[in-house]
Amino acid sequence: MTGVFFEIKYRSRHSLARVGRLLTRHGPVDTPVFMLVGTQGAVKSVSKEDLEDAGVQILLANTYHLYLRPGHEVIKRLGGLHKFMNWPHSILTDSGGFQVYSLAKLREVTEEGVVFQSHLDGSRHFIGPDEAMTIQMALGSDIMMALDECVPYPCEYAYVRRSVDLTTSWAKRCAAYRGRGRGAVFGIVQGGMYPDLRQRSAEALIQMDFDGYAIGGLSVGEDRETRAEMIKVVRELLPDHKPVYLMGVGTPEDLVEAVFLGVDMFDCVMPTRNARNGTLFTRKGKISIKNARYVDDDRPVDEDCDCYTCRNYSRAYLRHLFMAKELLVYRLNTIHNITFYMDLMEDIRQAIREERLDSFRKKFYENQDRGENASGGTYEAGLEANL
């Protein structure tokens, strides 16, 4: 990556929160940003136009899955992933590191890399640091992730320490690809739930001067207080002028809290997967559209939402579609949840600019507590010690 990649536009005077902008060859990305997951080169059930209408600026695609099908060389011959999927905006690709965790029964970790058994046909494949970067460069990623090992939770200290050292050795090889392609390269801080190992990992990666840094290995079963503690430990160590990406964490509450701690980027399957399961996000908490209470409810999902779904369809209709298993409901639900997340991030950015993030956070929880699944604000209270 050459030139300026990350600009900080505004810093909060009362927290580590900031408003910034990532500058890629496919356009700017305003931060804090939530990245939608398009695992196989598509966000399930919606089109490019649906995404653009919702204000999406960047997508995440999965290196491992695209390597298996249709193959990175195929995509390269067809002009790269942007052209292949007709997405003219920014793309971040993971390295395949998460599959080291999620496909634990189908892989073998070695010093050189990871041997995977394909979940499609059982064939065996090797992805090491060089292979991970080569695949991502072939895809034409704007942001490429270094290969890492994501350990499970709980995990013994000795194993996590060995894993950190392995991730560090892989990161050195990935860092060598900085400047070879046209995309940025991020290192991933690991270390489980051990603060000293998080520090060990972060300090080693900082020496490699990546374009940005990710916090990996969270949202793997730990409690929220521990998660917040690990975010805080790592964030305080990382260079302040580089973007910070919290991987795989994505409840609305998680986003609000992590922005306070100085996180700039997020991704998660939550808005799209929940949409397909009939769970919709609103400014007053989540609702389950299959609930019988919506059988004759003529209101939109969220009366304060201006998405295509809320402008045109009622809760009653969406419930009917869901119960009848009509495919249209997946698109309509997904459009709404995507829009909710994009609007939430814009509201957060505006609150930072106007120095009212504290009041925004308070109002956010008050609104959530008025929803059908009110929780009494225990999430916010439980994290106060980490802020």
Is residue 108, in this structure, part of any structural domain at all? yes
- The Cα–Cα gap between 326 and 320 comes to 9
Predicted local distance difference test score (pLDDT) of residue 239: 97
- Whether residue 301 contacts residue 243, with contact meaning beta carbons closer than 8 Å, is answered with no
Is residue 133, in this structure, part of any structural domain at all? yes
Q: State pLDDT tens for residues 330-364.
A: 999 999 999 999 999 999 999 999 999 999 999 99
Residues in the chain: 387
**114 & 211 share domain:** yes
CA distances from 194 to 40, 100, 200, 229 (A): 33, 20, 10, 10
Tell me how crowded residue 158 is: count the other CB atoms within 10 A of its CB: 8
Predicted local distance difference test score (pLDDT) of residue 386: 41
Q: State pLDDT tens for residues 204-238.
A: 999 999 999 999 999 999 999 999 999 999 999 99
**Per the omega criterion (within 30 degrees of 0), is the bond before 70 cis?**
yes
Tell me how crowded residue 376 is: count the other CB atoms within 10 A of its CB: 10
**204 & 259 share domain:** yes
- From the candidates 148, 211, 254, 267, give the one annotated as an active-site residue: 267
Q: Residue 48 pLDDT > 70, yes or no?
A: yes
Q: What is the pTM of this model?
A: 0.94
**240 & 350 share domain:** no
Structural domains of the chain, count:
2
**218 & 74 share domain:** yes
Residue 168 is encoded by which pair of tokens?
């560090």
Average pLDDT for residues 155-165, to the nearest whole number? 97
Is residue 241, in this structure, part of any structural domain at all? yes
Residue 243 is encoded by which pair of tokens?
């973007």
Is residue 346, in this structure, part of any structural domain at all? yes
Residue 358 annotated among the catalytic residues of the structure = no
**348 & 262 share domain:** no
Is residue 193, in this structure, part of any structural domain at all? yes
Q: State pLDDT tens for residues 293-314.
A: 999 999 999 999 999 999 999 9
**Containing domain of residue 295, as a range?**
281-373
- Whether residue 274 contacts residue 358, with contact meaning beta carbons closer than 8 Å, is answered with no
- From the candidates 94, 254, 302, 343, give the one annotated as an active-site residue: 94
Predicted local distance difference test score (pLDDT) of residue 106: 80
- Whether residue 20 contacts residue 265, with contact meaning beta carbons closer than 8 Å, is answered with no
Q: State pLDDT tens for residues 15-44.
A: 999 999 999 999 999 999 999 999 999 999
Give 383's pLDDT tier (boundaries 50, 70, 90): very low
CATH of the domain at 102: 3.20.20.105
Is residue 47, in this structure, part of any structural domain at all? no
Tell me how crowded residue 323 is: count the other CB atoms within 10 A of its CB: 14
Residue 94 annotated among the catalytic residues of the structure = yes
